[in-house]
Amino acid sequence: MIYFDEISLATQGFSDIMDITDEVEKVLKKSGISEGLVTISVPGSTAGVTTIEFEPGLVKDLKEALERIAPANAGSYSHDRTWGDGNGFSHIRAALIGASKSFPVKAKKMMLGTWQQIVLIDFDNRHRRRKVTVQVLGE
């Protein structure tokens, strides 16, 4: 069985980190699938999906880490010199984190830790509307 749904989100951009665990769990429940694989994926080249303990300190720490890894310094990106949209850093961060993650489902639950939340990160340099795809494959 294959079940699809989308989560619609308004984001602030600039590595806005949003906890989507509850929404993913709702999709899983609606799917009726008890054993399988859930894939969370964001179409687009300036956003990503990962997991983290969603608490304000770590949200700040992850933004700072991303700033060290791919600084938001427009002048230093060829993408920005060519296209002038100033979001070269957003694309690089997205390529590093990845746009999609998959987790096993057992007894109607995703195999995640208690303090492990699924997050969408919007790396873009402006407000965006995002649609996150949630797919459940199983039985």
Name the residues that contact its own copies, by CB under 8 A.
Answer: 2, 4, 35-37, 39, 41, 43-45, 50-53, 55-58, 60-62, 65, 68-70, 77-83, 88, 91-92, 94-104, 106, 111-113, 115-117, 133, 135, 137-139
With respect to its own copies, which residue has the nearer C-beta, 12 or 115?
115
With respect to its own copies, which residue has the nearer C-beta, 26 or 81?
81
Spacing of C-alpha 38 from chain mean position: 14
Round to whole Å and give the CA distance between 109 and 25.
8
For residue 108, the 8-state DSSP code is: T
CB of 60 to its own copies, least distance (A): 5
Burial label for 41, CB within 10 Å (0-12, 13-18, 19+), is middle
For residue 114, the 8-state DSSP code is: T
CB of 20 to its own copies, least distance (A): 14
CB of 128 to its own copies, least distance (A): 11
With respect to its own copies, which residue has the nearer C-beta, 26 or 104?
104
CB of 30 to its own copies, least distance (A): 16
